[in-house]
Amino acid sequence: MKSISKRIPFLLAICVTVFFIMAPFIAKWIALHPSFKGALSQAHLITDFIHNILIYPFGQWVKSAWKYAIVFPYWFLVFSLLSILISKTKKIWKWGFIISLCLYLFLFIFPNTLLWFENNNQSISKGSVSNGSVKYAKRIPLRGDNYTTYSFTCYLLGRTFVHEKVRDATLEAYEICEKTCPKTKFLLGETGTKHGGRFLPHRTHRNGMSIDFMTPLKKGNKKVGLSYWNYNVFNLFGFGFGFDDQGKSGKREIDFEVVALHLQALEKAAKKNGLRIKKVIFYPKLRNKLLATKEGEKIKHLPFTKNPVIVKHDDHYHVDFAPL
């Protein structure tokens, strides 16, 4: 057993190195996923991103060929130091693990405890959605009567912060939906970080004014129950569903009427909170289907993007808000 544990840093470093070498192929595979369209030209950006993360912070200083040379020694050193640290502090790790697990479960049951630590300062949005930041952003509560967040872990990691007015408008819109589409459980997607700024893998979401809403779905006449079983890491928390031009993905189908009702509610709630909807991104072919529905007629005036965007926006729709 001992000899195996001694080899673990070596074996783990080999795994990371193989992943590093495979990065261009992984990037190509990601770029060819149906959720992205025409993004193959962007594959090198994904490769660079993976490479730079894996040899952080050296990626920005060394040239491409040297990156391949340093990845193994870098990770061998990291894993060796970690294994020494773990062996010297076994008891602390054991208790650390137990306490973290208890805390994780406690927060899953009482997620709003985290909101107690937020200050009451008014949120301030600076700059644009693609080059801005936000001060005193607030977390959107993990779940409500008719919605939940796409991932509890990502909620803990602080990926659902927004400007307080955007939070209020979002929550009030869900309240409206309790009356207009009472059978639907909604799923909140990614929004942004506490201080805004760069929010990978998104290009925008930087000033607390952007939200991704996961597209409401149905199976035949039944609404698709939203749960962590349907939305998990294997389908990128729902961001990995690929829909055809009819809005279908296997047995799942986009509930266009509900998307329209939700956007109507968002517009109403935004106005009440001194905001307006500045932009809605939804895959153009599906947008036409959405606007052709009875409820869709009422949101024709919303500022849907005309220009194509790299990410398909079928499994989710993106909304940018702005002051009235």
- Binding interface with Zn ion (CB under 5 A): 212, 318
Alpha helices in 277-321 (DSSP H): 284-291
Q: Which is nearer to Zn ion, 16 or 211 (CB)?
A: 211
Least Å distance between CB 210 and Zn ion? 6
Pair 56, 67: CB distance under 8 Å: no
Q: Which is nearer to Zn ion, 168 or 212 (CB)?
A: 212
For tokens 């927060």, the residue is 107
Least Å distance between CB 312 and Zn ion? 12
Least Å distance between CB 203 and Zn ion? 8
Least Å distance between CB 289 and Zn ion? 20
Quote the CA–CA distance of 23 and 223 in Å, as a whole number: 38
Q: Which is nearer to Zn ion, 26 or 309 (CB)?
A: 309
Angle 33-218-213 from CA coordinates, rounded to 5° = 60
Least Å distance between CB 196 and Zn ion? 14
Q: Which is nearer to Zn ion, 67 or 318 (CB)?
A: 318
Least Å distance between CB 215 and Zn ion? 12
Least Å distance between CB 320 and Zn ion? 8
Quote the CA–CA distance of 101 and 13 in Å, as a whole number: 27
Write out the E strands in 10-89: none
Q: Which is nearer to Zn ion, 13 or 188 (CB)?
A: 188
State how far the alpha carbon of 194 is from the alpha carbons of 70, 94, 216, 274, 321, in Å: 33, 31, 27, 21, 17
Q: Which is nearer to Zn ion, 164 or 315 (CB)?
A: 315
Nearest Cα to 324, choosing from 264, 248, 262, 273? Answer: 273
Structure tokens at 85: 């640290």
The one-letter amino acid code at 59 reads G
Q: Which is nearer to Zn ion, 272 or 276 (CB)?
A: 276
Output the residue with the shortest Cβ distance to Zn ion.
Answer: 318
Quote the CA–CA distance of 242 and 71 in Å, as a whole number: 34
Residue 272 CA to its chain's centroid (Å): 27
State how far the alpha carbon of 109 is from the alpha carbons of 98, 152, 154, 189, 234, in Å: 17, 11, 15, 20, 24
Least Å distance between CB 189 and Zn ion? 7
Nearest Cα to 108, choosing from 153, 140, 147, 150? Answer: 153
Q: Which is nearer to Zn ion, 206 or 318 (CB)?
A: 318
Least Å distance between CB 130 and Zn ion? 11
Q: Which is nearer to Zn ion, 51 or 206 (CB)?
A: 206
Q: Is the peptide bond before 284 cis (omega within 30 degrees of 0)?
A: no
3-state secondary structure of 213: strand
Nearest Cα to 259, choosing from 210, 302, 192, 214? Answer: 214
